[in-house]
Chain A
Amino acid sequence: MSVQKDLFYAQSHEWVKYIGGGKALVGVSDHAQEEMGDVAFINLCEVGDVVDVGGGIGDIESIKAVSDIYSPVGGTVTKINDELLDDPSALNSDPYGSWLIELENVSENSKLMDAAAYEAFIAE
């Protein structure tokens, strides 16, 4: 189980990567993909949608269950990862490379954890 250093994490196991210019990428952690098991489908919100902190941005369907995905930060959706929708298995093999959506006008969320705090959180 890996936790990537330069990301910030939500308790619901999504990560956010700030990429400058008020933009950020959102994905789910290695721990989350491990818990979900083999991913079969991903449904995501649409470009132009405005999401709040903790707002739903889609769901991930695995062999075990369908899990809702919540945005760790607020913002406006500028891109969704079409390649990932075509090959959802990439989320299992490379969870930190497999971003789900890109947001702009990102609002901060002070409750997010850094890598060390998240590592401690999932060890609980």
Chain B
Amino acid sequence: MSELIFDKSKAGRRCAVIPCRDVAAVCVPERYRREVKAELPEVSEIDLVRHYTNLSRKSYGVDNGFYPLGSCTMKYNPKINEDAAELKGFTDIHPLQPESAVQGCLEVMHTLSEYLCEITGMEAMTLQPAAGAHGEFTALSMIKAYLLDRGETSRTKLIVPDSAHGTNPASANMCGFTVVNIPSTADGIVDIDALKNAVGGDTAALMLTNPNTVGKFEKNIEIIEKTVHDAGGLLYYDGANLNAVMGVARPGDMGFDAVHLNLHKTFATPHGGGGPGSGPVGCKAFLAKYLPNPVVKSENGIFSFERPEKSIGMSKSFFGNFLVCVKALAYIMTLGAEGIREAAENAVLNANYLQESLRGTYDIPFDGPCMHEFVVSLERLKRDTGITASDIAKGLIDRGMHPPTMYFPLVVHEALMLEPTETESRETLDSAAAALKDAIAAAYDNPQSLRDAPVSTPVGRPDETAAVRNPVLKA
């Protein structure tokens, strides 16, 4: 492990020499003074630079190499987005400035909202939520407000397929709904009979990811839409997998009433270092009056804030993670309508190329082509060799790539889930396939090497169970 910057601290050591004072000293009034000394590291500039440069070399991100973390869409973040987000007009502002002084920023929010509406087939949008699950909570709060407004107090149940992201039932619970789980069919999509049995006068909404979390397009989406709407429920689209269909198919056209998007997945803003993320929520016109306060409106070229008539309130302070929105807008404008579609098409092509490269070595539980991601099962490998999905994932670290998502979705045993994303070249996919096959070969030839993996990282294999059971939070 690395030393902390505090371990390198020496009293009196500094990065800079402050010039001698040439004015009279004025002391901070006593009531504002600290009672104890601030514990700050005291280091020279070179030690500071080395410390953080060395730490950064121990981390691994999409700028270092292949990162096929399924369901997370770890796509490359074009650096032009950072240039846009660094513009002074976007950074040297204050959220309480008058609208007239930040027209450019309001225009960014308004334009991005319009583009996202166009991409999703929605009619109104908020950029406030800080990330995906926050977007789910925001949208479900709006649906709840809509139902209560109509006096439909008996609609308390939210239907969630068993392949859903864990955030779906969690958000539903947080919003006070009761979750009804429905099973998937053998080919990994919603079981229509189970859905028909589940809907009724108590249905508030269905939460659905399409393509779903096993990488399959819900081909019965029209039947699903009719079933839920006929029962009086709403359709909520979890936008986690929009990358597979953006520019090709729109949730709004599939009949969804509300969506959330993950700008940090689909629209190439960073996940790393905590992001920050951004989870805009879009809705059809009939839900627009419940959107969080405020939304940006445009009249005669002048932009202003407006409180939606029956707003659920603010879902985040001020206007969400604004600079993330700037990056997403830069991404959309760089790609244009054709580029957005091409990105989705390449994401699907890359995933299918990798899936077919691995077929035969890895068991693919669902037949046919995938969308932008796919799941493999290592149940047979575990039975034959005792090597688990987790061991293979750790072994892949030593083979120079970030592991895929492990043990998700829960409907597949010993699952690994791969999402290569659109920006990877054929050469990168080929070398990843070689690494993935090499790890399986090692399971038969030298299983101990996988149980010991990774050996090429600063930290080997921490005891994850002990870390959860007995966390040591402070040195």
Which A positions have Cβ atoms within 8 angstroms of B?
35, 38-41, 61, 63-65, 88-89
Given A63-B464, A64-B407, A65-B407, A40–B413 Cβ distance below 8 Å?
no
Q: Determine whether the beta carbon of A35 is less than 8 Å from that of B465.
A: no
Query: Is B410 positioned at the interface, with any CB of A under 8 Å from its CB?
Result: yes
A-B contact count (CB 8 A): 21
Give the interface SS of chain A, mostly helix, strand, loop or mixed. loop
A–B pairs, 21, beta carbons within 8 Å: A35-B413, A38-B464, A38-B465, A39-B465, A40-B465, A40-B468, A40-B469, A41-B468, A41-B469, A61-B468, A63-B390, A63-B464, A63-B465, A63-B468, A64-B406, A64-B407, A65-B407, A65-B410, A88-B469, A89-B465, A89-B469
Known contacts A35-B413, A88-B469, then 9 further A-B pairs from the complex at CB < 8 Å, ordered by chain A residue: A38-B464, A40-B465, A41-B468, A63-B390, A63-B464, A63-B468, A64-B407, A65-B410, A89-B465
Q: What are the residues of chain A within 8 A of B410 when measuring CB–CB? A: 65
Q: What are the residues of chain B within 8 A of A88 when measuring CB–CB? A: 469
Give the interface SS of chain B, mostly helix, strand, loop or mixed. helix
Q: How far is the CB of B276 from chain A (nearest CB, A)?
A: 26
Q: What are the residues of chain A within 8 A of B406 when measuring CB–CB? A: 64
Q: Which B residues between 459 and 473 are near A, CB-CB below 8 angstroms?
A: 464-465, 468-469
Q: How far is the CB of B183 from chain A (nearest CB, A)?
A: 14
Residue of A nearest to B407 (CB): A64
Q: What are the residues of chain A within 8 A of B468 when measuring CB–CB? A: 40-41, 61, 63
Residue of B nearest to A40 (CB): B468
Q: What are the residues of chain B within 8 A of A65 when measuring CB–CB? A: 407, 410
Q: What are the residues of chain A within 8 A of B464 when measuring CB–CB? A: 38, 63
**Cα separation A88 to B465 with both chains bound (whole Å):** 10
Q: How far is the CB of B166 from chain A (nearest CB, A)?
A: 8
Q: Which B residues between 420 and 475 are near A, CB-CB below 8 angstroms?
A: 464-465, 468-469
Q: What are the residues of chain A within 8 A of B465 when measuring CB–CB? A: 38-40, 63, 89
Q: What are the residues of chain A within 8 A of B469 when measuring CB–CB? A: 40-41, 88-89
- Which residue of A35, A39, A63, A89 has the most chain B CB atoms within 10 A of its CB atom? A63
- For the complex of A and B, the 9 pairs showing the least CB-CB separation, nearest first, are A38-B465, A40-B468, A64-B407, A63-B464, A40-B469, A65-B410, A40-B465, A63-B465, A65-B407
Q: How far is the CB of A55 from chain B (nearest CB, A)?
A: 15
**Cα separation A87 to B390 with both chains bound (whole Å):** 23
**Cα separation A64 to B413 with both chains bound (whole Å):** 11
**Cα separation A39 to B469 with both chains bound (whole Å):** 9
**Cα separation A35 to B413 with both chains bound (whole Å):** 8
- Which residue of A61, A64, A65, A89 has the most chain B CB atoms within 10 A of its CB atom? A64
Q: What are the residues of chain B within 8 A of A63 when measuring CB–CB? A: 390, 464-465, 468
Q: What are the residues of chain B within 8 A of A40 when measuring CB–CB? A: 465, 468-469
- Which residue of A35, A38, A39 has the most chain B CB atoms within 10 A of its CB atom? A38
Q: What are the residues of chain A within 8 A of B407 when measuring CB–CB? A: 64-65
Q: How far is the CB of A89 from chain B (nearest CB, A)?
A: 7
Residue of B nearest to A66 (CB): B166
Q: What are the residues of chain B within 8 A of A41 when measuring CB–CB? A: 468-469
Q: How far is the CB of A12 from chain B (nearest CB, A)?
A: 13
Q: How far is the CB of A19 from chain B (nearest CB, A)?
A: 29
**Cα separation A90 to B465 with both chains bound (whole Å):** 13
**Cα separation A40 to B469 with both chains bound (whole Å):** 5
Q: How far is the CB of B214 from chain A (nearest CB, A)?
A: 16
Residue of A nearest to B406 (CB): A64
- Which residue of B390, B407, B464, B468 has the most chain A CB atoms within 10 A of its CB atom? B468
Residue of B nearest to A38 (CB): B465
Q: What are the residues of chain B within 8 A of A89 when measuring CB–CB? A: 465, 469
Q: How far is the CB of A41 from chain B (nearest CB, A)?
A: 7
Interface mask (B19-62 → A, CB under 8 Å = 1, otherwise 0):
00000000000000000000000000000000000000000000
Q: What are the residues of chain B within 8 A of A35 when measuring CB–CB? A: 413
Interface mask (B57-101 → A, CB under 8 Å = 1, otherwise 0):
000000000000000000000000000000000000000000000
- Which residue of B406, B464, B465 has the most chain A CB atoms within 10 A of its CB atom? B465
Q: How far is the CB of B465 from chain A (nearest CB, A)?
A: 4
Q: Which B residues between 147 and 162 are near A, CB-CB below 8 angstroms?
A: none
Q: How far is the CB of B468 from chain A (nearest CB, A)?
A: 4
Residue of B nearest to A34 (CB): B382
Q: Which B residues between 391 and 424 are near A, CB-CB below 8 angstroms?
A: 406-407, 410, 413
Q: How far is the CB of B428 from chain A (nearest CB, A)?
A: 29
**Cα separation A64 to B469 with both chains bound (whole Å):** 14
Q: How far is the CB of A122 from chain B (nearest CB, A)?
A: 12
**Cα separation A65 to B464 with both chains bound (whole Å):** 13
Q: What are the residues of chain A within 8 A of B413 when measuring CB–CB? A: 35
Q: How far is the CB of B376 from chain A (nearest CB, A)?
A: 16
Q: Which B residues between 310 and 352 are near A, CB-CB below 8 angstroms?
A: none
Residue of A nearest to B181 (CB): A68
Q: How far is the CB of A66 from chain B (nearest CB, A)?
A: 8
Residue of A nearest to B410 (CB): A65
Q: What are the residues of chain B within 8 A of A38 when measuring CB–CB? A: 464-465
**Cα separation A65 to B405 with both chains bound (whole Å):** 13
**Cα separation A65 to B406 with both chains bound (whole Å):** 10
Q: How far is the CB of A61 from chain B (nearest CB, A)?
A: 8
